[in-house]
Amino acid sequence: MKPQLTLLPLIATFLACNIASAHEYDALLKAKKYAEVEKAVAAKLSIEPNNPDALIAKTELILTEGKESRLDEASKYAEQCINANPKNSECHEALGNVLGTKAQKGGVMSAISYVGKIRDSFKKAIELDPNNFSARNSLMQFYLQAPSFVGGGTGKAKDLVVETIKFSPAAGALLQASLDLQDGNVERATSAALAVNTSNSDALARQQRNILASIGHTQINEKKFAEAEKIFRELTQRFPDAVHGYFGLGKSLQEQGKAKEAIPLLEKAMTIDASASVFYRLGKAWQMLGDKVKALAAFEKALNFKPELPKKTKSEVEDLIKSLKS
């Protein structure tokens, strides 16, 4: 496997970055009440400068903001968290998340320089808390995407599956589904992911949701739209309060030129979790329908949203805006 940007452990299925395991500020972050989190974290750190939950939340706020210029600051918070709380699993996971984002922003050579620290951060997080499933998933993605000469490879991914099954057969099955998807065995990945009962674990439910969304987007990329829509409809049934199913359905329909059917789904996704990607797809749908005003408004929101669109998509949107304004 060639050392490309895809070697990052933070190849988020839809969201901009991975979030560490649940902590004091988790609910507010998920609700996107960032100003409240910032205020609460500042107050906590003024009293307890090394409070792990506050330091982790601080790194997550910076990652969510998406400014590359603040990533060194985020690293310092994560390292402070580790130095003051060396046995806290989430502190190590937070450092892995930050370094993964730095590697992604910095390009291939930067990624290669960080991979050892990224891998070791997630491994340490798991060592300290074997039930830290988000760290396990991040390490799994590292093994699947990183070339063997920097510590990746399917052999290590398989070993992680076996190890994980000892702690949680359900978590192990979801990691196996990720491995199957990487190997191109989409049908097996789908069956395995759907079969896992995650009703007693929010963490595992998030992992199941994310792997199913990855499967659906893979099907879209392969233009297997009927299969993709089946997955995304299942997601809307299992996770009606999550954005993934509605966005995936809307994207699939928009890709097929069914803009009128896509718009209600994308608007539903917007009410659940607005993002640059949803605005982008909504803009494409309105453009297909010939509504330049609404298309332009959506594209401009996509361009200014944080976290930002990927560079290639951002460039496309800039060109589309120029075209619509001409």
For residue 170, give the nearest of 207, 222, 210 by alpha carbon: 207
Residue 110: pLDDT band (50, 70, 90) is low
What's the rounded Cα separation, in Å, for the pair 206 and 202? 6
For residue 204, give the nearest of 168, 231, 238, 176 by alpha carbon: 168
Q: Is the pLDDT of residue 321 over 60?
A: yes
Among 15-19, 248-252, 296-300, the minimum mean pLDDT is found in 15-19
Could you tell me how far CA 95 lies from the centroid of its own chain? Answer: 16
Q: What average pLDDT does the segment 133-156 reach?
A: 88
Could you tell me how far CA 92 lies from the centroid of its own chain? Answer: 18
High-pLDDT (> 70) share of the chain, %: 91
pTM, rounded to two decimals: 0.85
pLDDT at 202: 87
Mean pLDDT of the residues in the chain: 88
Among 222-226, 299-303, 304-308, the minimum mean pLDDT is found in 304-308
pLDDT at 231: 97
For residue 285, give the nearest of 311, 312, 256, 308 by alpha carbon: 256
Q: Which two tokens stand for residue 289?
A: 């329908």
Residue 127: pLDDT band (50, 70, 90) is very high
Q: Is the pLDDT of residue 306 over 70?
A: yes
Instruction: Give burial (CB, 10 Å; 0-12/13-18/19+) of 322.
Output: exposed
pLDDT at 150: 80
- Pick the residue with more confidence: 146 or 213? 213
- Strongest mean pLDDT among 32-36, 109-113, 150-154, 284-288: 284-288
Query: Which sign, positive or negative, has the C-alpha torsion 248, 189, 170, 167?
Result: negative
Provide CB contacts within 8 A for 174, sequence distance 6+.
137, 192, 193, 196, 204, 207, 208, 211
Among 98-112, 223-237, 257-271, the minimum mean pLDDT is found in 98-112
Stated as kind and residue range, the H or E segment containing 175 is helix 169-182
Q: Which two tokens stand for residue 178?
A: 């990720």
Q: Which two tokens stand for residue 20?
A: 């560490």
162-213 pLDDT per residue, tens = 999 998 999 999 999 999 999 999 999 999 999 999 988 888 999 999 999 9
CA–CA distances in Å: residue 104 to residues 9, 14, 117, 297, 323? 9, 15, 14, 29, 30
Q: What average pLDDT does the segment 302-307 reach?
A: 88
Domains in the chain and their CATH numbers?
1-167 (1.25.40.10)
Contact yes or no for 250/263 (Cβ under 8 A): yes
